[in-house]
A and B are shown apart, each in its own frame.
Chain A
Amino acid sequence: MAESKKMYLNMGPHHPATHGVLRIELELEGETIVNATPRIGYLHRGIEKLAESRNYQQIIPLTDRLDYASASANNMGYCVTVEKLMGIEVPKRAQYLRVIMAELARIMGHHLWIGTHALDIGAMSVVFYAFRDREMIMDINEEISGYRLTPTFFRIGGVAHDATPKFIEMVRDFVKWFPKGLDGYHKLLTENKIWTTRTMDIGTISADEAVNYGFTGPSLRGSGVAYDLRKAFPYSSYDDFDFQIPVGDKGDVYDRYLVRMEEFSQSLKIIDQAIENLPEGPVNVENPWISNPDLDEVQKDISALIRRFMIHAKGFAAPEAEVYQAVEGAKGELGFYLVGDGSEHPYRLKIRSPCFYLASALPRLMVGHMVADAIAIIGSIDVVLGEIDR
Chain B
Amino acid sequence: MSMVRLTIDGSEVEVPEGTTILKAAEKAGIRIPTLCYHKRLPPIESCNMCIVEIEGEKEPVNSCAAPVSNGLVVTTDSKALHEQRTANLKKILKHHPLDCPICDRAGECELQDIVYELGIEDVPYEPRKVKRDDTYSTSLIRYWADRCIMCGRCVTACRDIKQIGAIEIQGEEENARIVVDPDKCKSCGECLMVCPTGALTENLSRYKGRPWLVKRVQTTCTYCGCGCQFELNVLDNRVIGVTTDVDTGVNQGSLCVKGRFGYEFIGDESRLKKPLIKENGALREASWEEALDTVAEKFKAIRDQHGPDNIAGLTSAKCTNEENFLFQKFMRAVIGTNNVDHCARL
By a beta-carbon cutoff of 8 Å, the part of chain A in contact with chain B is 287-289, 298-307, 309-310, 313-314
Contacts and interface: CB of A to CB of B under 8 A. Distances in A.
A309 B120 CA distance: 13
B122 to A, nearest CB: 7
B119 A309 contact: no
Contacts of B116: 289, 306-307, 310
A303 B107 contact: no
Interface residues of B, number: 23
B212 interface: yes
Given A288-B119, A306-B100, A301 B125 contact: yes
B122 A301 contact: yes
20 contacts: A300-B98, A301-B122, A302-B98, A302-B115, A302-B123, A303-B90, A303-B120, A303-B121, A303-B122, A303-B123, A306-B116, A306-B120, A307-B116, A307-B121, A309-B100, A309-B101, A309-B106, A310-B113, A313-B107, A313-B212
Nearest to B116: A310
B112 A306 contact: yes
A306 B90 CA distance: 13
A303 B98 contact: no
Given A302-B97, A304-B121, A309-B101, 17 more contacts: A288-B119, A298-B98, A301-B122, A301-B125, A302-B98, A302-B100, A303-B123, A305-B100, A305-B101, A306-B100, A306-B115, A306-B120, A307-B115, A309-B106, A309-B107, A310-B112, A313-B210
Contact of B98 (A287, A288, A299): A299
Contacts of B106: 309, 313
A73 to B, nearest CB: 32
Interface string B102-132: 0000110001110110011111110000000
Nearest to B93: A302
Nearest to A304: B121
Interface of B: 90, 93, 96-98, 100-101, 106-107, 111-113, 115-116, 119-125, 210, 212
Contacts of B210: 313
Nearest to A316: B116
Contact of B123 (A289, A299, A301, A310): A301
Chain B interface mostly = loop
Contacts, number: 59
Contact of B124 (A289, A301, A307): A301
Contacts of A300: 98, 124-125
Contacts of A303: 90, 93, 115, 120-123
Contacts of B97: 302
Contacts of B121: 288, 303-304, 307
Given A305-B100, A309-B106, A288 B112 contact: no
A310 B100 CA distance: 10
B158 to A, nearest CB: 27
B290 to A, nearest CB: 51
B72 to A, nearest CB: 30
Nearest to B97: A302
Interface centre among A289, A304, A314 (most CB of B within 10 A): A304
Nearest to B103: A309
A110 B88 CA distance: 56
Contacts of B98: 298-300, 302, 305
Contact of A302 (B96, B113, B119): B96
A288 B115 CA distance: 10
A343 to B, nearest CB: 14
Interface centre among B111, B115, B119 (most CB of A within 10 A): B115
Contacts of A299: 98
Contacts of B101: 305, 309
Nearest to B211: A313
A289 B107 CA distance: 16
A309 B112 contact: yes
A314 B121 CA distance: 18
Nearest to B210: A313
Nearest to B113: A310
A15 B97 CA distance: 58
Nearest to B123: A303
B92 to A, nearest CB: 10
Of all A-B residue pairs in the complex, the 8 with the closest CB atoms, nearest first, are A288-B119, A310-B116, A303-B120, A303-B123, A306-B115, A302-B96, A306-B112, A309-B100
